[in-house]
Amino acid sequence: VQPRIVEIRQNVLRKNDELARALRARFLTDRVLVVNLVSSPGSGKTAWLERSLGACRTRGWHTAVLVGDVATDNDARRLAATGVPVRQIGTGGLCHLDAQMIVDHLRDWPPRPLDLLFIENVGNLVCPASYDLGESLRAVLLSTTEGEDKPLKYPALFHSADVALLTKLDLAAACEFDHAAARQNLQAARPGIRVVETSARTGQGLDDWLDLLDASRQQVLAAGPAPPR
């Protein structure tokens, strides 16, 4: 059975890559920065997004959020409370989002104008690594409570990320979090990765994160085709 499964899986990933390429081209044409947030369950993706949405509004950016979850729409409801357009993707038990789900949920949504689309992936450090969603920026969250070794133990996901957000810095001391080891392991998994230290509770790192998003937005605006006149 094994070689057949490998072959099937390769076909699935090949098809996903094709769809993701088309999505990426479309996002560039639409001049939208798309950010895919990946992490373990409970690393604080939703809490950090709540903070980020408010900060984006302050900068005058129009945002929307796609939220993937195996079950419940808890996170979608939390995020919708910010007033930003939010759409839930129920994966029906599946352990990751794929490009087809993104295509399906963007048919007549979100409302324009749109500068920035966040995608909150399923909490999982393994499976989402292989599924390109057409994003321009993949951000992996690593909380101070889950241990500095995670980039070494789940290298594929960390290697696939463009930026790492260290989260729950307010708990770092209580967890005896080793900052140097975490940064060393992140660099080992993904040499040169940018790292932002954050806390959704205190707001630490929010300005740095927004500046980083702004720089990525400028790249998208520079790379995209001229807007229609």
Binding site for a second copy (CB under 8 A): 1, 4-5, 8, 11-12, 15, 40-43, 69-72, 74-75, 93-95, 122-127, 143, 145-147, 149-150, 152-156, 168, 171, 174-175
In whole angstroms, the minimum distance from the beta carbon of 138 to a second copy comes to 18
- SS3 for 172? coil
Query: Distance between CA atoms of 205 and 30, rounded to whole angstroms?
Result: 28
- Rounded to the nearest whole angstrom, what is the least distance from the CB of residue 144 to a second copy in the complex? 9
Nearer to a second copy among residue 145 and residue 219 (C-beta): 145
Residue closer to a second copy (CB basis): 12 or 210: 12
As measured in angstroms, the least distance from the Cβ of 157 to a second copy is: 9
By beta-carbon proximity to a second copy, the closer residue of 55 and 127 is 127
CB of 216 to a second copy, least distance (A): 27
Q: How many CB atoms lie within 10 A of CB 57?
A: 14
CA distance 45 to 84: 16
Question: Closest CB to a second copy among 22 and 126?
Answer: 126
**Distance, CA of 188 to CA of 143 (rounded, Å):** 18
Q: Which is nearer to a second copy, 90 or 224 (CB)?
A: 90
**CA-CA distance, 53 to 56, in Å (whole number)?**
5
Closest approach, Cβ 42 to a second copy, in A, equals 3
- Neighbour count for residue 18 (Cβ, 10 Å): 12
At what angle are helices 2-29 and 206-223 packed, to 10 degrees? 80
Q: Looking at residue 214, what DSSP letter applies?
A: H
